[in-house]
Structure 1
Amino acid sequence: MDFTIAAFLMQDGLTSGAVYALLGLALVLVFSVTRVIFIPQGEFVAYGAMTLSLLDTGRFPPTAILLMVFGAAAFLLDLWEYRGRYNAAALLRSAAINLALPGAIYALALVLAPLQAGPLVKALLTVLIIAPMGMYVYRIAFRPLADVPVLVLLIVSVGLHLAMMGLGLVFFGAEGLRAQPLSNGVYMLGFLPVTAQSLWIYGITIAIIVGLYVFFEHTLLGKALRATAINRLGARLVGVRTQLTGVTAFVLAATIGAVSGILIGPITTIYYDTGFIIGLKGFVAAIIGGLASFPVTAVAAIGVGIIEAFTSFYASAYKEIIVFSLIIPVLIWLSITTAVHEDD
């Protein structure tokens, strides 16, 4: 291997690592606030990439229909919760959030999809479709189980992953889709060509990391999420609405997943089950960060991307095995150094 090849591999690793960093940060965020190891995070990536791909061809994205299904299920759960104690204000609020909001997004997608709007409009519409799914997933699957042990939440998370992957097959089919880049163009950095899509990936990743820092450090809701992550019961006792923080964490995770799909969709073909592998690589970074540290997770994700790029050159058949085996020494180290093991 010469320096030129190494530079190309390093660039590929940084590009992939930036996407893995977003997924790792989303996983750490959800786990810190809700104790959920969110296996379906990759499904939001696949949904986002495939939704953008369909919008690029002027077709109506079926994820808008899926969003309405999720909203209707959440509304039915609210009706069941309010049985025997009529609360008009709560029912109206539930109908607005769970029925009117998905309906409005569905209508907007119906209007905009055939118009072949610009790439940024299609990207924003994709985020608008995918982001509320996090809220409905939390309401349907996790809010009723907020106080159960972590193992139960993990089992539910695996079941939800299988369900969402199956829904992806139903709505998108088995064929792969590839989106158009947000902008075309290639820039030369010395001898190294850098695509405009790669610059979008680097820029948006940095912007999201900075945005999360500002959100957690300088907003009341962000501080509420931090309090919930540190001590859920203590946060409740001082008046933090842990249901709101849970919803916020899942909406942020879905938004990050949608953005990741928009960024990675133009550089690789996405299938209905591709999100699982991508999400697992973000999970490797989150585990290296102890499912607690955002900076360590981001750095680890870049490292995962670089290792993946170089192993694909030297031993492509064992690329996935090498990447996923990175968590083994970390888990061994954590098992040695952690004195107390908690089940809840």
Structure 2
Amino acid sequence: MTTISDRLQDAGPGWVVLGVAALALLAMPILRRLLPRGRRHRGGGAVLFLGVSVVLSASAILLGGMAGASLGTLVQVLSVLTLGIGLVAIAGLVVFDLVLARVGVDVPSILRDLLLVSVAVALVMGFLRLAGLDLFSLVTTSAVLTAVIGLALQSTIANVFGGLGLQLDRTLGRGEWIEVGSRVGRILEIGWRSTRIVTKDGDTVFVPNSELVAGEVLNFSRPTGAHRMTVRIGFDYRHPPGQVRGVLVAAVRDVPGVLEQPPPDCGPHDFGESAIVYGLRYWIADFEHDTVIDEEVRTRIWHAAQRAGLEIPYPIRTVISADGGAGETFSQARRLSRTNPAEGGD
């Protein structure tokens, strides 16, 4: 009768796999503490594969034996594969997130994942080939299988290559503010299939990488990060443009968030029915708080106009009667419109 002790003695290689996987799993918390603060959440894949390897190797030892085409052998092969993938993931953490991050080299996440996946796939296929199973020949000789997979993953492959293109040519980067269609947000991460951005309202939007590559994207953070804002406001015709320009430009010079260079400028934008409309242009670098800065600028403009005696006129329209009589002011016309039978008056 074969006892559990005899099976444990026969499963020598299984103990090696179990020991290595357990030690690597125990070392993960220490490794994560050594990573930069913003990268300590990584390593979940390594923990998952190492944990599976521990369970599989322990199961293979209990099932007994490494010889013959037994269930224990199959489980042990799977434990070795998961251990190899887990060790590749740990190597990626050490190289990309610990060593290179310390020297200031930031490898794009999608490029890093592509390298790690390529190494893991090569390791798995090499191990299986040594075991007598050549997956590469099986896939390449099945033209139908290859065509089906290619058609099924067509959009996914387009997004993957789109993400690689964005990472390699550095068109967009993490932390930059962009506008895609009607969506404006800051890039959190460029992943395999999509780019994750967060809006000013705190909502997360996932944009397919193929849309970023093929569509039009407005980058507010490049080339310098400075963004021009414009405020339009009307003043009475009796105020000289030079006086208005001086008051408005002076009002925004000391507003928090408004850049000194390029300096603010102002000029007539349009000659309206009741006022000259001026355009006040100023530059900001903090695009995340552009709304707050714009509100403060408008508040300063109102106070400066009040101190300088600049009148912001109400819309006035002269109405000429059909018989050529005297005109009526806009307020009179508005009173008449309230009694118009077409609008529900008496």
* TM-score over 0.5 for the pair: no
| Structure with higher RCO (Cα < 8 A, 6+ apart) | 1
Report the structure, 1 or 2, having the larger strand content.
2
User: What TM-score results when the alignment is normalised by the length of structure 1?
Assistant: 0.29
